[in-house]
Amino acid sequence: MFISFEDYLKDVAADPSLKQVAETIARLSEAAIEVQRAISVGRITKTTHGDNSGQNASGETQKALDVFADEAFLRAAKSSHVLVYGSEEQDVPVVFDAGSLALAIDPLDGSSNIETNISVGTVFSLLPVHASHKEAPAEAFQQLGKNQLAAGFFIYGAQLLLVMTVGAGTRTFIHIAEQGGFFLLNEMNIPVTSREYSVNASNRRYWSSGIARYIKDVEAGEDGPRGRNFGMRYVGSLVAEAYRILQRGGVFLYPADQRAGYHEGRLRQLYEANPIAFCIEQAGGSATDGTTRILNLAPKDLHARTPLVFGSQSEVETIAEYIHVRSA
């Protein structure tokens, strides 16, 4: 018999310090169902999801579905316990009248995959708003990632999934429309070792020597210093890479590279790296910027980027060794 998401959230809410977190995640899950429905019918009013509709704060093309998702999650945030809403699709944080939480969110992750029917998702991170933040709520986003109360991501794919943690393990829930809700699928445990790596190899010429050497050696397989063969998977949607790694292990890398705008990598610390890192660590994996734990990195601003390496602990540690050796 499946445990319902509602029953799980009731357990979470039994801890008074997490009651508003549980209620907020329940509202976010309703917005996710709305986004999944919009994706599955393939059109919003006159435009398709894949149509461009401007640029976001990071200067990246905004798709119609990015905007649709942002509006859905903004409404959900406003009608729950969020005081300040920091979104990839909003230049500056949105401050509501009341609330106890700061929500950092990537309303639609993997936008470049929308028109190809490849899984996309939503990534979210919930931080506490302390009394010291009341004058300037956006300062709540200056907290270290290890202060997150909860984090997770929705995947809009063959299944609508929610992967989340409140700091007591990482669980996956599946939406079963006929049953009218989400149900617990499993608790995630990442294998310590792995044979799969995930990187956009077209950026090879821009990488640091340590990363380049690590990838060269895994590609050499049993003919090289690693003495065993590896496999490679790259989807281009962070949520799809993260779920695959939670399911069967592996390591994902989006390193810093020499292209303009990529000197800190591509992924954003507050609403991509921090929440993914929290879920990965709670499933027994590791997440770093190559050498330093993501959850210990001080954020710079809402849209700050960070290099990101996450997955099976042994490979994340091996990558750090390659970087230290090559920089020695």
Of 124, 240, 261, 243, the C-alpha closest to 190 is: 243
Of the pair 183, 262, the CB lying nearest ligand AHG is at: 262
User: Among 116, 186, 200, 209, which residue interacts with ligand AHG (rule: CB under 6 A)?
Assistant: 200
Of 7-15, 37-45, 236-244, 319-327, which segment contacts ligand AHG by CB under 6 A? Answer: 236-244
Strand pairing category for 251-254 and 196-198: parallel
> Which residues pair with residue 310 across a beta bridge?
252, 287
Residue 206 CB coordination number (10 Å): 15
Look-up of token digits 């592996």: 250
Site for ligand AHG in 55-84 (CB under 6 A): 60
User: Among 172, 237, 269, 286, which residue interacts with ligand AHG (rule: CB under 6 A)?
Assistant: 237
Q: Does 12 bind ligand AHG (CB under 6 A)?
A: no
Identify whether the C-beta of residue 284 lies closer than 8 Å to the C-beta of residue 278: no
Closest approach of ligand AHG to the CB of residue 143, in Å: 22
DSSP one-letter code for 117: T
Q: Does 106 bind ligand AHG (CB under 6 A)?
A: yes
Residue 7 CB coordination number (10 Å): 11
Closest approach of Mn ion to the CB of residue 57, in Å: 11
Torsion angle in degrees (nearest 10) through CA of 320, 327, 304, 104: 10
Q: Does 109 bind ligand AHG (CB under 6 A)?
A: yes
For 234-312, where are the alpha helices, taking DSSP H only? Answer: 238-248, 274-282
Q: Does 316 bind ligand AHG (CB under 6 A)?
A: no
Of the pair 221, 236, the CB lying nearest ligand AHG is at: 236
Give me the residues that bind Mn ion (CB under 5 A), please: 88, 106, 108-109
User: Among 183, 236, 264, 293, which residue interacts with ligand AHG (rule: CB under 6 A)?
Assistant: 236
Query: Which residues of this protein are in contact with ligand AHG, per CB under 6 A?
Result: 60, 88, 106, 109-112, 200, 236-238, 266
